[in-house]
Structure 1
Amino acid sequence: MQKIPLTLAKPGMTLAKPVTRPDGIAVAGAGSELSQGILDRFDSMGITHVVVEGEPVKLDGQPGTTSYDKRLERLDYLFRRFPDDKWMGQIKRLVDHYFRMKAAASAALAEAARAARAASQSEAAPEVDNTPKPKDA
């Protein structure tokens, strides 16, 4: 199972855990298949993340000058002095999760921008009329 930002959820994915609104009310059960209508409804309810079955989204490789792997190595280095401290371990896990979510959100924005650019280019391309014209006699 994988927790992903709602922006990366696609129709056809299956929920691994129930989805609840920010006020705690359940709106979809585990095992539900996502559709575009459900995703739109989640967005309007303020739901930002969903847990889906499998790992359908690759979360590493955040765009920028530093790859996600290097950020993760740096995180290990920063917490090297606290291998047995349960509280520092919890903070490390939270920071790791934060970086993964930021990488996923950044990838979603980049994909949306790429799709918008491709759509605008296809609309801007003039259509050529290749139908034969009747000749006047």
Structure 2
Amino acid sequence: MQKIPLTLAKPGMILAKPVTRPDGIAVAAAGSELSQSILDRFDTMGVTHVVVEGEPVRLDGQPGGTSYDKRLERLDFLFRKFPDDKWMGQIKRLLDRYFRMKAAASAAVAEAAKAASQPEAAAEPAEKSPTKDA
């Protein structure tokens, strides 16, 4: 879930929180799928930000990468004030293990999708190469 400017919202995104006008009146419910007409309507109503579900969107407009890797990088910084606290150390280790597991799972899914998208012709030359050696 991430709060993003309306300019970065794209059709197909799902709202994580209701959208309200600046005067507080709700105009869309959480769980609604955004369409271009809804985004245009939000713009005319003065809505500036929406909270969407899913992986984070980079605020420079580029698609987000794996957020788990970014979170792993920040753990040392986030727990810097508690170097000797046994409980905070345990929480840090649990988060580290969790983010590593999720990052590995995301990488495996991406690799499987990449392998599935490649044509099967790439597998045929590998089968033919042993016959050349014989």
Smaller-chain TM-score bracket:
0.3 to 0.5
**Using CA pairs below 8 Å that are at least 6 residues apart, which structure has the higher relative contact order?**
1
Structure with more of its chain in helix, by fraction: 2
- The alignment's TM-score, normalised by the length of structure 2, stands at 0.44
